[in-house]
Amino acid sequence: MNLETINTDLQDLQTILSKIGKVAGYVKIFNVDDVTTDLKNEFSNELKAAKGIWVEFEILPNSSLFIVNDIMGFINDNCNNNCEIIFGTAINEDLVENSIKCKILFTGLV
């Protein structure tokens, strides 16, 4: 299964930004083998507290969608039950092999 682009738009960002509370945003490049562990170590507080999460993944064109599925499953399993999550994907041919770039926005933090 190869990556296809899943676009997010301004309305998606407005939905996530409508959550009342503090906002935290990060851009980071992860090794695909360590991404869920790194997310857990670096963003566990934000995952648990967020009322909205927007994620955009940038992956090499030959990458599998399974990594995106694994990451989104991890985020869904570790976030607040009432958290709204929106994600998208894009192709980035300039990434190093076995890496994924994540842009993450957490909103509604208390």
Answer whether residue 88 is part of any domain: yes
- The pLDDT value given to residue 78: 94
Indicate the pLDDT class of residue 101, thresholds 50, 70 and 90. very high
87: closest CA among 65, 99, 107, 103? 103
- The pLDDT value given to residue 84: 96
Mean pLDDT in residue range 87-95: 94
Indicate the pLDDT class of residue 65, thresholds 50, 70 and 90. confident
- The pLDDT value given to residue 110: 83
Residues with Cβ < 8 Å from 85, sequence gap 6 or more? Answer: 52, 53, 54, 55, 72, 75, 76, 79
Answer whether residue 21 is part of any domain: yes
**Model confidence over 5-55: pLDDT tens digits?**
677 888 888 899 999 999 999 999 999 999 989 999 999 999 999 999 999
Residue 2 has pLDDT above 60, yes or no: no
Residue 1 has pLDDT above 50, yes or no: no
Domain that holds residue 15: 10-109
- The pLDDT value given to residue 3: 46
110 versus 75: which is more confidently predicted? 75
Answer whether residue 14 is part of any domain: yes
Answer whether residue 52 is part of any domain: yes
Answer whether residue 5 is part of any domain: no
Output the domain CATH number for residue 79: 3.30.1330.20
Q: Into how many domains does the chain fold?
A: 1
Answer whether residue 86 is part of any domain: yes
Answer whether residue 2 is part of any domain: no
Answer whether residue 100 is part of any domain: yes
